[in-house]
Chain A
Amino acid sequence: METFQDVTAWFSDPVNWSGPQGIPQRLMEHLQYSWVAVLLAAPVGVALGTYIGHARRFEFITVTTANLGRALPSFAILALAFPIALHYNLGFSIWPTVAALFFLAVPPILTNTYVGVKEVDADTVESARGMGMSGSQVLRRIEVPLAAPLIVTGIRTAAVQVVATATLAAVVAGGGLGRFIVDGFARQRGDMILGGAFLVAALAILTEVFFAFVERSVKPRTASQDRSRFKPPYRHAAQAGRPGGDGYVPGA
């Protein structure tokens, strides 16, 4: 049983902070797998989700297929992707890992986008069409802006899962923070295993926090005073109760 002091010692050992096997290098590798996977999955998930949510076609088949990606263990995909990549001489590149992470990332992005677009108030869409907005105008001016927070929620869920799962790269001789865990097991170094696990967890939490901010920034304004930010609760309640806005003095 490794103690807290051992892990602290591992973190404070300067050897672990430099060179091709140091924490900064492994962190960069880990981020690379994750970013590439999410950056590839986001356009696919958002495009498909937007299309089926707007057109209301192929909804069932698309969502079901996408969810297969969630059902398949990433480890299984990795196991399949690795020999295929080997065949094309890409076995030791980032691609087998990215492929596995891609299938993990698409479903939450697609599903959230689809639900976000579909759930936009039907009356708002109908009256926009009735006033002469084209399909793409409805999409760009109404459906996507209103669905944006949910779309980002999907990306956030995907990103956190991807960051946690990118650890698997180490299993097929890749880099990333998983290296510390896999190597730690191999060498029976508990401090290394715990240190790696701590780094992965911390990165996942940071990712979560980062996207929470993005999500907030894409939330469309629906009130002339932003009630969601930096307001003491009593004020919030007072505003919720004010009628119709007549005679209301902003900032009063």
Chain B
Amino acid sequence: MTKMITLDDVTKRFGGSAEVAVRGLSMEIDEGEIVVLVGPSGCGKTTTMKMINRLIEPTSGTITVAGSDVMRHDPVQLRRTIGYVIQNVGLMPHRTIEQNIATVPRLLNWKAERIRDRVRELLDIFDLSDGLLDRYPSELSGGQRQRVGVARALAADPPVMLMDEPFGAVDPIIRARLQDQFLDIQRQLQKTVVFVTHDIDEAIQMSDRIAILNQGAKIEQMAAPEEILRTPTNDFVRNFVGAERGLRRLGLIRIADIEVEEGPVVQSDASVSEARAAMEKFDFDWTTVLEGERLLGWIDASDLEVHDSVAKTQPRPFSAHVVANDSLRQALDSIVTSRTHIAVVVSDGDKYEGILTMARISREIIS
């Protein structure tokens, strides 16, 4: 994997201030990965990010983007090749959405036709309607504005994106949607992203790797989110990621990544004794009923007392189920809210995959 951004012993001291904002920071960021800088306020994470596009000039040290030293470029030209999104978006209020998105292509003197096509392509990617083209930022909802902000940063297809709390200004529901959408788009575009936030949950969700920064942008730990949650290197990291490390890790593991349990299963044409055997095998008082691979529902021991074959019973539908793409955290939620204390896993709509129990999920976290 080639390095897209490297920081080598970078220090930033603001004039007149004894405090060092960033002290001797070194970091390497691979092409196509999302690195989230997270830490308490004033830790230097935003300063670090802004030195990459030279909105802030480092006092010493070297920063390279795509192999070349940023100090050897004209800062204005450099910034046109790096996408930039900030928390309050900063759309130009006196320009239409089309003009806002076209900002960088225009600065780069693209042909009008090419800009036109690109703006429409971006609206499409971000699921924004063409009707917004002639609107002004004040006429959009907060979520739309933030999407326009990200679209604008991507307009000239820069290989690197700097994002400073890009989804910070909207409510949690919209934020979750924007995060998912950005991750979907990122899977296609494979940009190298430096993402700043103070929200550990956002960091866990958005990152390939997290850098947890302390005062002076000191890296306390830099690793994949799963690793940070599993083995935090010190108390600072442990405190920062908070008390619910186990639950947060569950949020990162998909059901498809682990082996589900088989659970008690009978076919709909099975005999009563087969059904009893299935229940006894797992020490359950109920069993799942399938037709081929298709999930029909469940029956319990009392059903078998009044009917002489499984075929005559009326399997009851499970109140909830989870799919392979859901996280273990969602599975756990399904477990604690179900009467049977298990989560039923299905795929392709109603194909039965197995069950998950509390013990099975817990084993995943402990191992």
Contacts and interface: CB of A to CB of B under 8 A. Distances in A.
A205 to B, nearest CB: 31
A137 B187 CA distance: 34
Interface in B153-167: 153, 162
B104 A132 contact: yes
Nearest to A127: B90
A127 B107 contact: no
A222 B94 contact: yes
Interface of A: 121, 123-134, 137, 141-142, 145-146, 220-224, 243-246
Interface stretch (B7-15, B134-142, B265-273): B134-142
Contact of A222 (B78, B90, B93): B93
Contacts, number: 89
B132 interface: yes
Contacts of B79: 129-132
B152 interface: yes
Nearest to B97: A224
Contacts of A224: 96, 134-136, 139
Interface string B41-84: 00000000000010100000000000000000000111111001
Q: Which of A141, A145, A245 has the most CB of B within 10 A?
A: A245
Given A123-B86, A224-B134, A243-B141, A131 B80 contact: yes
A106 B146 CA distance: 41
B92 A223 contact: no
Contact of A124 (B92, B153, B162): B92
Contacts of A126: 55, 86, 90
A223 B138 contact: yes
Interface of B: 53, 55, 76-81, 84-94, 96, 103-104, 107, 129, 131-132, 134-141, 144, 149, 152-153, 162
Given A221-B94, A245-B140, A132 B55 contact: no
A130 B50 CA distance: 9
B84 A130 contact: yes
The 4 A-B pairs of least Cβ separation, nearest first, read: A127-B90, A132-B80, A130-B84, A244-B141
Contacts of B153: 131
Given A133-B76, A141-B92, 16 more contacts: A121-B90, A123-B90, A124-B90, A124-B91, A125-B90, A127-B149, A130-B86, A131-B152, A131-B153, A132-B77, A132-B78, A134-B76, A222-B138, A224-B136, A243-B141, A245-B132
17 contacts: A121-B90, A123-B88, A124-B90, A127-B85, A127-B89, A128-B103, A131-B84, A131-B107, A133-B76, A137-B107, A141-B92, A142-B92, A222-B136, A223-B136, A223-B139, A245-B135, A246-B129
A123 B149 CA distance: 12
Q: Which of B79, B84, B90, B153 has the most CB of A within 10 A?
A: B90
A63 B241 CA distance: 49
Nearest to B78: A132
A129 B135 CA distance: 23
Given A132-B107, A133-B76, A245 B90 contact: no
A146 B93 CA distance: 9
A146 B79 CA distance: 23
Nearest to B143: A244
